[in-house]
Amino acid sequence: MSDENERPLTGLRVVDLGQVLASPYAGYLLGMLGADVVKVEPPEGDWLRKATPLAVTTQNADKRTLGVDFRNPDAIEAVLRLVESADVFIEGFKPGTAAEMGLSWEAVSARNPRIVYASLSAYGDVGPYAGRPGFDHVVQAVSGIMASTGEPDGPATKVGAPFVDFGSGMLMAFAVLAGLRERDRTDKAVRIDVTMLDAALMLNMGALAKVANSGRDPERLGNNAFSGAVASGMYNCAGGTMIALAANKASQLAKLCALLDITDVLDLPGLDQLEPMSVTEARERIERALQARPASEWESLLSEHGIPAGHVRALSDVVRDGYPQQRGLLQQVASDDGTLLLPGSGIRINGVMHGPHRTVGAIGADNDEVLAEIGFSDAEIAALRASGAVVGP
């Protein structure tokens, strides 16, 4: 690993009021790139603390923690004093909640006229769904993702992973970086507004553009590829295994048919025009030929010939294959229970993928350190504890 000073966001401070997955993941990514991220939590802590230590650590490793009672005016004043020393303020509440707490855009930017104030919510404060709460699967339903996922004759289907949460966090981290550039360009505070629905629609932007311009919803494709190419999609192989093919180019299709010994498929009438009957017959012929071997063997053979192919793996298979570790996407971090493998930043910079150094501490574990850094005396910190404004060990 490189020295901490080589991380591109070293020297920046982020005040992170995010909860659960989406907005905390934005803070996590900024922290992996070197920012000093202070996680501000209520007395009961981030909701994920009710799950497992690994669950909360996966979005909050390396963050320092400050525990406060947001109902206490002295606690809000402490957060605003922290804001004065910060570059970025992140909140992930329903629109209007931060303002009710005394941490609105106006209040925060008044205390720090160079702050990047970043809000992440389900739907934002404009449009037909403004102000509504939401979680990943709810936004998947609203976004049209579920309606276009699944088999043509089956029900709408949720994507297995909470990709809207993590996609929202990535979009917010991207927005914060743009906001920092804008702050440096104008020397003024910048307001960032990201929604989970924005992220879901961005992740499906090709279909969004088609629907917006044609008025027609995409067909539910099941395991067929979005491209509609003849040999692009999922196919059954020997032993109940499955393989994903993407022989989208004519040259790749020709190679595939040669390897499968079904070159006459290329002569089906109208195949090059994607006529349904010919496409259906071609796909059936390809799948029958693939029954000769397990998917893993086909993957190796087809990859050697430049044909994109991958057999269906469980996530545990990917971890056992070693790709996340070799890439740096999973990195070892010491914990009270031994060693954990935690995600890195997801991007390599000069050959290095930066990752976490420590797990997240208990609620308010860094209270004294953080408060002292922003000018609170020992007596003031003791008073905050006594009043219940600051909570934690």
Give the pLDDT score at 190.
98
Same fold, 4-203+328-387 and 232-319: no
Q: Name the token pair of 173.
A: 């981290």
- Per-chain mean pLDDT for the chain: 94
Q: pLDDT digit string (tens) for 320-377?
A: 999 999 999 999 999 887 899 999 999 999 999 999 999 999 999 999 999 999 999 9
For residues 317 and 252, what is the distance between their CA atoms, to the nearest angstrom? Answer: 27
The predicted structure's pLDDT at residue 383:
97
Report the top-level CATH class of 4-203+328-387. alpha beta
Is 4's pLDDT higher than 60?
A: no
Half-sphere exposure of 229 (CA within 13 A, CB side): 17
pLDDT beyond 60 at 2: no
Three-class secondary structure of residue 30 per DSSP: helix
Give the domain ranges of the chain: 4-203+328-387, 232-319
Residue 106 has pLDDT above 80, yes or no: yes
CATH 3.40.50.1000 is right for the domain spanning 232-319: no
pLDDT surpassing 60 at residue 1 = no
CA distances from 297 to 75, 142, 243, 309 (A): 61, 40, 10, 11
Distances (CA, A) of 198 to 36, 181, 195, 223: 27, 22, 5, 25
pLDDT digits (tens, 9 = 90+) for 239-270: 999 999 999 999 999 999 999 999 999 999 98
- pLDDT tens digit sequence for 19-58: 999 999 999 999 999 999 999 999 999 999 998 888 899 9
Distance CA 49, CA 171 (A): 24
